[in-house]
Structure 1
Amino acid sequence: MTGPGLLAFDGRPVDGGLYLQVVHWAQHLPRPWQEAVAAFSSYGLGLLAVLMLAAWWRARRIGSAAMARALAAPLCVTLAFAADTLLKGVLQEPRPCQVLPAAPTLEACPGTGDWALPSNHTVIVFAGAAALWLVDRRIGALSLLLAVAMGVSRVVVGVHYPHDVVLGALVGTAAGYGLGLLAGRGGGLVERVRGGALERWLGA
């Protein structure tokens, strides 16, 4: 059982030293760069929404299976986030900025009970990237670059260990890709409604 003050998982021995090196480096970046990284880390998920819209637009010219996957991409991300939230509650790893001498971090340290492992942001963006890869390779590649940048930024701003991001990438990729493949089976349904009133939204 995990009680108050008793860690279910202590990430410090894994890569706490690397985390401190990254945070120390970030503290010496020029102020505009710090602000840019912090803004991207907080709001960069909005770029994933833009790429999802691009994938939907592109899928209009591809096929019904691709359209089904494009439409399901937000659901894939939501389910991945739900799985991540459950996993966080089991592992209960405190944020590194709560237990290591990392202050001041570029992003305010979350409060006690806001667990670190896996990284929510990383899970979300990798799940989206995996799902979009199945729709269009170019959009998927852009999404993957976004995912990597987001994962790195979560360490740089000081709210996650590197292993939080690695596990988040694995969970997000597995969930997004698996659910995306499953969503492709909805191509038949998309095909049936593509020629009706929704034609302008589902077909070129």
Structure 2
Amino acid sequence: MGTEIEDVPDISAEWYREVTAFARDTPEWVRDAAEVATDAVPAILFALLVFGWWRARRGDDRRMALALLAPVAVVVAYLTSEGIKSLMRLRRPCWDLADVVTVAPCPPYGDWSLPSNHATFAAAGAVALVALWRGTAVAAPVLALLEAFSRVFVGVHYPHDVAAGLLLGAVTAPVVLLALRNPATALVAAMRRRPALTALLATARPPAPPRGR
């Protein structure tokens, strides 16, 4: 069966067919779990970033600055991916490969394919999370890779779509964090001196014990 599709590498189309065929033969509960997980993983990463901000309230100004910049980096990466998709206007695999059975419903026409927004979001979120919380250095990248694979597994993206999304998110997030880290740290230092913002930016510190005579 030929797999030549305009603007799609043959190897990517072939892998897409193999992964979706594998998905079709998995138990129904696996397919149902994948369909839920493909949208749940970005939410999990976002929840971890929120928890990272909560932990950063006990840290120094730089740590809190990273916590506040993390969602900014993710949003910038996501908007960049959306802009690229709108410019390139590359078709989804499930629009062209009528013989392929997908786990998830095929997105409507106009929701373009490259790069994968989900993979971009996941990669950017993972990079920001690791920068903020080193204890997630294994879990966060694994979640991003699982998210990328799930987009192919449920049938809505080619492998090269998610690879491009992972690369875009992994490059954009650290650029944003590095570019804005110093001014954000100075801003946090100034904001932490305002009592009204203390609860958002720092934990209440117990009063120092009285000095002995």
TM-score when normalising by structure 2: 0.86
Q: Any residues of structure 2 matched to 1:94-109 within 5 Å, and which?
A: 94-109=91-106
For 1:122 and 1:191, the matched residues in 2 are separated by 34
Match of 2:7 in 1: 10
Question: 2:191: which partner in 1?
Answer: 193
User: Aligned match of 1:21 in 18, 34, 38?
Assistant: 18
Q: Kindly indicate whether the alpha-carbon contact (under 8 Å) linking 1:126 and 1:144 is maintained by their aligned counterparts in 2.
A: yes
Q: How many residues align?
A: 197
Question: How far 1:113 sits from its partner (Å)?
Answer: 1.9
| Cα distance change, pair 176–102 in 1 and its aligned pair in 2 (3 A) | farther
Between the aligned partners of 1:138 and 1:45, the Cα distance in structure 2 is: 18
Instruction: Give, in whole Å, the separation in 2 of the partners of 1:196 and 1:32.
Output: 52
Question: Cα distance, 1:133 vs. partner?
Answer: 1.8
Alignment of 1:1-204 (within 5 A): 10-185=7-182, 186-197=184-195, 198-204=197-203
Q: Contact 1:51–1:139 at 8 Å: present in 2 too?
A: no
Q: What is the deviation of 1:65? A: 1.4
Q: Which runs of 5+ in 1 are unaligned?
A: 1-6
The alpha carbon displacement at 1:107 in A equals: 0.5
Q: CA RMSD in A?
A: 1.7
% identity of equivalent residues: 34
8 Å CA contact 2:20, 2:102 repeated in 1:
yes
1:202 counterpart letter in structure 2: L
Quick one: which amino acid aligns to residue 192 of structure 1?
A
Larger radius of gyration: 2
Letter in 1 for 2:59: I
Show structure 1 runs of 4+ deviating over 3 A. Answer: none
What TM-score do you get using the length of structure 1 for normalisation? 0.90
